[in-house]
A = this chain, B = another copy of it.
Amino acid sequence: MSSTVSPLAPKSYPTMPPVRGVRMATAAAGIKYKNRTDVLLMAFDKPAAVAGVFTRSKCPSAPVDFCRENLPHGVARGVVVNSGNANAFTGMKGKAATALTAKSAAAALGCVEKEIYLASTGVIGEPLDATKFSGVLGEMAKSATGDFWLEAAKAIMTTDTYPKVATRTAKIDGVNVTINGIAKGAGMIAPDMATMLSFVVTDADIAAPALQALLSAGVGPSFNSVTVDSDTSTSDTLMLFATGAAAADGQVRVESADDVRLDGFRAALDDLLKDLALQVVRDGEGARKMIAITVTGAENDGAAKRIGLSIANSPLVKTAVAGEDANWGRVVMAVGKSGEVADRDRLAIWFGDVRVAVNGERDPGYSEAAASAVMKEDDVAIRVDVGLGNGQATVWTCDLTKEYVAINGDYRS
Contact = CB atoms under 8 A, between A and B. Distances in A.
Interface stretch (A2-10, A11-19, A163-171, A317-325): A317-325
Given A192-B337, A332-B234, A337-B232, A94 B59 contact: no
A402 interface: yes
Nearest to A65: B344
A315 B408 CA distance: 9
Interface stretch (A25-33, A196-204, A358-366): A358-366
A330 interface: yes
Given A88-B329, A93-B361, A332-B88, A313 B230 contact: yes
A91 B361 contact: yes
Max count, chain B CB within 10 A of own CB: residue among A234, A337, A362: A337
A40 interface: no
A231 to B, nearest CB: 5
A79 to B, nearest CB: 23
Contact of A233 (B92, B319, B333, B335): B333
Interface string A126-151: 11000000000000000000000000
Interface string A52-91: 0001111110000000000000000000000000101111
B329 A125 contact: yes
A400 interface: yes
Interface in A91-132: 91-94, 123-127
Nearest to A345: B91
Given A315-B229, A329-B123, A362-B127, A405 B408 contact: no
16 contacts: A57-B337, A90-B362, A127-B361, A187-B316, A188-B330, A229-B315, A229-B316, A234-B333, A319-B409, A322-B405, A323-B408, A400-B405, A402-B402, A402-B406, A404-B405, A405-B405
A331 B92 CA distance: 20
Interface in A334-352: 334-345, 347
A91 B334 contact: no
A301 B404 CA distance: 33
A204 B339 CA distance: 36
A412 interface: yes
B361 A89 contact: yes
A316 B345 CA distance: 36
B322 A59 contact: no
A325 B229 contact: no
A394 interface: no
A206 to B, nearest CB: 32
Interface residues of A, number: 72
Max count, chain B CB within 10 A of own CB: residue among A126, A315, A316, A412: A315
A279 interface: no
A259 interface: no
A406 B322 CA distance: 9
A408 B405 CA distance: 14
B333 A124 contact: yes
Contact of A319 (B126, B316, B338, B408): B408
Interface string A200-229: 000000000000000000000000000001
A134 B5 CA distance: 54
A316 B58 contact: no
A180 interface: no
A313 B229 CA distance: 10
Contacts of A323: 408-410
